[in-house]
């Protein structure tokens, strides 16, 4: 079996690709090869011999679907890929639209529909939550700087300014909102989400849905250390049935098909959970689910192959992940090979 995985940019803001691969390899049932699909020749995962067998550069999503499909078609002719697992937000729409064409090549996927991706978007999530009685911070969708002036009449400061795909900044006044609006919109476009700030502790759930409303597994985690970019650098699995039941309710209502990360804030005064975001793929801390007893990455592979997957009903509480940096040494010839030829063999 050959499985291709994206998002192996294992840097200070890591993608989920490497931990997804670790879960697959450590399932005890995988005896195959892993193909790394990368966007840059310096993505560290491509040089990890124990993680990736072969790597290929693919075009950025902005290059268009035709270019992406032709590149995957070329890679498939050489590798005969069984399953592709995209792990980055910005590429999921493209892969979802190519699902039928990939299937014609014999490549299986397990992806949310474009409708589901739209529904969980930062600009649509509040409406979905209100419809299904799920607490969510109030927000304004700003398509121009003029919309920013609505803040003063609706919210108290601080507020959270978010990009449609990535980035979030806490702003304490209008000047900071304007600065964040300009910075984020330049990178990710419009609209910009300006969200009510909820004071409390952050909790996350990594989960996997079968597309029919059933939750295959769900693991709750509390962040212990957060970087200046807002990324969890360590966290611990927790026991909170209320949190897990809420995650399962969301997965049921949206009938989510694939992995996801649900980000919550537990308000200090009420102790109630507010859904901040629903990320449409496994998080970079997904390997913690494997360590806690729910191998969600390998379960996704089995779902893609049409195999029966049983629900996980429990996980080990008190498992901690601590992310760290490690200098990976390789040869310039490897870098030259992937830079010039767009592919590399780690054998």
- How far is residue 315's CA from residue 239's CA, in Å, rounded to a whole number? 9
All structural domains of the chain: 2-109+327-345 (3.40.50.20), 138-196 (3.30.1490.20), 199-322 (3.30.470.20)
Distance from C-alpha of 185 to C-alpha of 270, rounded to nearest angstrom: 34
Distant-in-sequence, close-in-space partners of 124: CB < 8 Å, separation ≥ 6: 118
Angstrom CA distances, 257 to 111, 277, 280, 333, stand at: 6, 17, 9, 41
Q: What DSSP character marks residue 146?
A: G
pLDDT digit string, tens, across residues 109-130: 999 999 999 999 888 999 999 9
pLDDT score at 165: 77
pLDDT above 80 (res 318): yes
What pairing do the DSSP bridges indicate for beta strands 257-267 and 273-279?
A: antiparallel
* Partners of 262 in beta bridges: 205, 278
- Angle CA(196)–CA(200)–CA(205) in degrees, nearest 5? 95
Summarize pLDDT for 134-189 with one digit per residue, the tens: 999 999 999 999 999 989 888 899 999 998 877 889 999 999 999 999 999 998 88
- pLDDT higher for 242 or 228? 242
Q: Give me the pLDDT at residue 54, please.
A: 96
In angstroms, the first-to-last Cα distance of the chain is: 17
């Amino acid at each position: 079996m050959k499985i291709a995985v994206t998002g192996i940019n294992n840097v200070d803001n890591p993608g989920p690709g490497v931990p997804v691969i670790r879960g697959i390899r450590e399932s005890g049932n995988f005896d195959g090869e892993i193909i790394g699909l990368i966007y840059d020749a310096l993505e560290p995962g491509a040089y990890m011999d124990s993680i990736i067998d072969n790597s290929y550069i693919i075009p950025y999503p902005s290059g268009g679907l035709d270019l992406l499909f032709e590149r995957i078609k070329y890679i498939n002719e050489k590798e005969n890929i069984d399953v592709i697992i995209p792990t980055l937000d910005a590429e999921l729409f493209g892969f979802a639209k190519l699902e039928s064409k990939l299937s014609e090549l014999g490549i299986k996927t397990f992806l949310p529909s474009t409708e589901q991706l739209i529904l969980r978007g930062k600009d649509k999530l509040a409406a979905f939550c209100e419809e299904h009685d799920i607490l969510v911070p109030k927000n304004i969708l700003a398509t121009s700087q003029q919309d920013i002036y609505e803040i003063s009449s609706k919210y108290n400061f601080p507020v959270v300014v978010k990009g449609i795909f990535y980035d979030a900044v806490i702003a304490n006044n209008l000047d900071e909102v304007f600065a964040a609006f300009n910075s984020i919109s330049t990178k990710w476009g419009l609209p910009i989400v300006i969200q009510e700030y909820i004071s409390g502790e952050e909790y996350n759930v990594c989960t996997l849905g079968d597309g029919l409303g059933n939750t295959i597994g769900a693991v709750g985690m509390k962040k212990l250390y957060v970087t200046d970019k807002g990324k969890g650098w360590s966290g611990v699995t927790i026991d909170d049935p209320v949190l897990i039941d809420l995650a399962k309710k969301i997965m049921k209502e949206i009938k989510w098909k694939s992995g996801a990360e649900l980000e919550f804030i537990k308000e200090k005064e009420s102790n109630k959970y507010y859904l901040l975001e629903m990320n449409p793929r496994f998080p970079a801390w997904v390997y913690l689910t494997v360590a806690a007893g729910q191998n969600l990455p390998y379960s996704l592979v089995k779902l893609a192959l049409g195999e029966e997957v049983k629900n996980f009903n429990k996980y080990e509480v008190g498992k901690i992940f601590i992310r760290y940096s490690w200098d990976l040494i390789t040869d310039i010839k490897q870098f030259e090979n992937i830079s010039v030829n767009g592919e590399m063999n780690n054998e």
